[in-house]
Amino acid sequence: MATPPLKYNKAQIMLHWLSAALIIIMLFAGLVVLPNLPDGGFKAFAVQMHMLTGIAIFFLTLVRIVLKKKLQQPLYASTGNALLDKLGVVTHYALNIVTLLVVLAGIGFALSAGFWDVLWGVYVMPAHTDSALVGFFHEAHEILAFVLIGLIVLHVAGAVFHQHVLKDNLISRMKMR
């Protein structure tokens, strides 16, 4: 078996940082901006961009998962603590799974609330329905978004811990150079 690489390949690094930027923008847009926009054409356009970006994130995440399976990866970085090491592995898997679930819940919300037409350029926001299905998908989408925020915080905290406490230069594995 070949020696594992010391860092991720450039495609994985670019997809990581692109996904990270899009997810942060989407979390801010979905939790702060969209709820505060007045109904109308601009809100419908903003919802359309939110939906299109969410779908893009879904496919970027799938590509990242496939590349992780197909390409040789650096070894998991050890903290010297078995529990923290396991938390790092679980967090990585959970980030991908929860990202996919956020998007799927968003699609469920859009379909059940009649927002799907907004995706195709119908810039009229449908009246919100009070059905249990709409409520379920809306709450799932929002709760999963907060779970994703927690996982992102864990992920960043782990990177900072490696970089500044353990001083193992872990972040160099995710740099383009």
Q: What percent of the chain has pLDDT over 70?
A: 95
133-159 burial, b at 16+ Cβ within 10 Å, e below that, comes to ebeebbebbbebbeebeebbebbeebb
Could you report the per-residue pLDDT of 151-176, keeping only the tens digit for each? 999 999 999 999 999 999 888 999 98
- pTM, full prediction: 0.91
Nearest to 101 by CA among 69, 132, 146: 146
Query: Number of helices and strands (H, E) in the chain?
Result: 5, 0
Q: What is the pLDDT of residues 111-149, one digit of tens each?
A: 888 888 877 877 666 666 678 999 999 999 999 999 999
